[in-house]
Each structure stands twice: as C-alpha cells, then as structure tokens.
C-alpha cells in the first residue's frame, strides 16, 4: 500500500494536476474505490491536495499558478504535436497574439520566419520569436508573473483592447465541462478574456491531460473558442462535445 501511494504521490507531483480519469488510466490495476481512499489518505497527510475531479500537487496549490519550468518537462511530445498542428494555421502578413505557457512557447519555437505582427504576453515566447528576422514582436506593459514568466495586469489588458488580432493562440491550465477553460491566476484570466474579445479567430492549445482539471479562475466557455488543438489522446466524447458546440477540433 505504501509503495502504491508513493507512486500516486509522485505521479501527481510530476504532472502538477491530474484528473481522476487520468489516475485510473495510470493505475489500471487499482480499483476506483482504492484510488479514492489513497487520495483521501494522501490529502490528510498533506502530501497532495484533493480537488473536484482529481488532485493537485502541493506546489501547484501554494503558487498562484504552476511554475513554467516544471510545465516545460511535462507531456513534451504532446505539446510538440499540438504546436506543429498550430503552426499550420499561421499565414504571412497576419496579426497574431501568442499567450504565455509551455505549449504556446513550443509554437513560438516552430514559428515561421515570415512577415507577421506578433503580440505576446509570454517572455519565453518573445525570446524564441526574437531569433527570427521577419517577425515584428510587441509585448504589453504590466506586471511580471515570475511563476509563469508572463506579463499581465490592468495595463496589459488595456493595451490588448486597443488592438485587433487575426488569430490568437491561447493556453489553458484546465478544462471542466461545467465551468469551462480555466487557469490559476486572476490577472492571467483577465488578460485571456481581453484577447478573446479582440480576436477574429481564437485557437485554444490544450493537451488531453488538462481535461477534468479545475482551477480557480475561468476565462472562457465553449462559445468563446473557434478552434481547439489537442493530441491524439483526447477523449472522443469530449472532442465530439466540442464539435457539437461549433468548435473545430484538430
């Protein structure tokens, strides 16, 4: 029992946040009741934190949002797959917004060196784009969030609302069918909503592990998203739900 609970704790800490369905997949020989008892025990020992639909690492709860350098190490192949699909949506001479986050940073690494106006709140995104010669890069003013290496705040939102974007690529920390797409920081959720209000096409980049993950701040529901890009492990029923709500799923 102790070894199994150690493995569950390690799995949650590696991923930051996991849904109960993902835990069941990761531990297929463990019954659902046993898994729930293990989560309860680990929560009581303050080794993890149980949340609606799953569990989170203690580090994720303490911080305002997950540390970006940790997220870079998770689900790397899924993020690369998503970034490659997203790069196919980029055409020359367009105005583009790139969110912060590890998956969007993967997209910045694959960004074509073509004439674009690119606005980004992600410091790592800006660094990757600065390697290109034909892309013009703009960043909004505001406060730096050291955990996500992003810029946000009222100044950022005000500047974002002064502009129009042909296409916006946003990341998300979690998705719940009841509450929509969410993240762990109020200022970042406000920035994402500001971007959606000014984008002609909103593209959400979300790997399959984010489904059934709940965070404090919701920034969009299915009606706000035009295209969702995920990996091959996205639950077919969730994908069909998105399509039924007029979201193109790639």
Q: 203 with 85, same domain?
A: yes
Q: 12 with 83, same domain?
A: no
Q: 35 with 127, same domain?
A: no
Q: Which domain holds residue 37?
A: 2-62
Q: 132 with 181, same domain?
A: yes
> In this predicted model, which residue has the larger pLDDT, 205 or 183?
205
pLDDT confidence bin for 11, thresholds 50/70/90: confident
Tell me the pairing of strands 135-138 and 116-120: parallel
Report the percent of the chain where pLDDT is more than 90: 29
pLDDT confidence bin for 75, thresholds 50/70/90: low
Least confident of 7-16, 96-105, 165-174, 205-214: 7-16
Q: 137 with 40, same domain?
A: no
Residue 203: in which H helix or E strand, if any? strand 199-205
Q: Which residue has tokens 């729930």?
A: 36
- Rounded to 10°, the helix 76-87/102-109 angle is 50
Q: Which one of 62, 90, 112 terminates a domain? A: 62
pLDDT confidence bin for 64, thresholds 50/70/90: very low
- Return phi, psi of residue 167, to 5°: -150, 140
Q: 197 with 245, same domain?
A: yes
Whether the Cβ atoms of residue 111 and residue 136 lie closer than 8 Å to each other: no
How many angstroms separate the CA atoms of 65 and 145, rounded?
Answer: 9
Q: 49 with 159, same domain?
A: no
pTM metric for this prediction: 0.71
Task: Give me the pLDDT at residue 148, please.
Answer: 66
Query: In terms of Cα–Cα distance, which of 185, 166, 167, 171 is closest to 105?
Result: 171
Mean pLDDT to the nearest integer, 174-200:
89
Domains held by the chain: number: 2
- Rounded to 10°, the helix 2-15/32-44 angle is 80
Task: Give me the pLDDT at residue 59, please.
Answer: 60
Q: Which two tokens stand for residue 98?
A: 């790139």
Q: Which residue has tokens 């399959």?
A: 208
Task: Give me the pLDDT at residue 2, please.
Answer: 66
What pairs with residue 135 in β-bridges?
Answer: 116
pLDDT confidence bin for 72, thresholds 50/70/90: very low
Q: 93 with 207, same domain?
A: yes
> In this predicted model, which residue has the larger pLDDT, 14 or 250?
250
* Residue 217 in domain: yes
How many angstroms separate the CA atoms of 208 and 242, rounded?
Answer: 13
* Residue 67 in domain: no
Task: Give me the pLDDT at residue 62, please.
Answer: 45
Least confident of 10-14, 29-33, 56-60, 102-106: 56-60
Q: 96 with 54, same domain?
A: no
Strand order in the sheet with 165-171: 135-138, 116-120, 94-98, 165-171, 199-205, 227-229, 248-249
Mean pLDDT to the nearest integer, 46-70:
65
How many angstroms separate the CA atoms of 151 and 187, rounded?
Answer: 9
* pLDDT tens digits for range 142-166: 777 666 677 777 777 888 888 899 9
* Residue 70 in domain: no
Q: 39 with 139, same domain?
A: no
pLDDT confidence bin for 97, thresholds 50/70/90: very high
* CATH number of the domain enclosing 50: 1.10.10
> In this predicted model, which residue has the larger pLDDT, 125 or 46?
125
pLDDT confidence bin for 63, thresholds 50/70/90: very low
Q: Would the pLDDT of 167 be above 80?
A: yes
Where do the H-state alpha helices sit in 134-208? 154-160, 186-198
Q: 15 with 53, same domain?
A: yes
């Amino acid at each position: 029992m102790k070894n199994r609970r150690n493995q569950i704790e390690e799995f949650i800490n590696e991923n930051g946040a996991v849904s109960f369905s993902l835990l069941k997949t990761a531990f297929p020989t463990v019954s659902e009741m046993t898994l729930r008892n293990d989560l309860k025990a680990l929560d009581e020992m303050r080794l993890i934190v149980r949340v609606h639909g799953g569990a989170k690492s203690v580090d994720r709860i303490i911080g305002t949002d997950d540390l970006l350098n940790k997220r870079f190490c998770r689900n790397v192949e899924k993020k690369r797959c998503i970034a490659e699909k997203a790069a196919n949506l980029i055409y020359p001479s367009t105005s583009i917004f790139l969110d912060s986050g590890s998956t969007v940073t993967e997209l910045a690494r694959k960004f074509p060196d073509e004439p674009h106006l690119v606005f980004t709140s992600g410091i790592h995104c800006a660094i990757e784009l600065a390697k290109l010669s034909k892309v013009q890069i703009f960043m909004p003013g505001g406060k730096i969030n050291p955990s996500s290496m992003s810029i946000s705040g009222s100044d950022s939102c005000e500047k974002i609302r002064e502009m129009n974007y042909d296409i916006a690529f946003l990341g998300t920390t979690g998705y719940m069918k009841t509450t929509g797409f969410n993240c762990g920081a109020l200022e970042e959720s406000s920035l994402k909503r500001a971007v959606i209000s000014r984008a002609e096409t909103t593209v959400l980049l979300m790997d399959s592990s984010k489904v059934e993950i709940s965070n404090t701040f919701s920034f969009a529901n299915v009606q706000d998203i035009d295209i969702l890009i995920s990996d091959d492990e996205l639950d077919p029923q969730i994908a069909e739900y998105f399509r039924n709500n007029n979201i193109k799923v790639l």
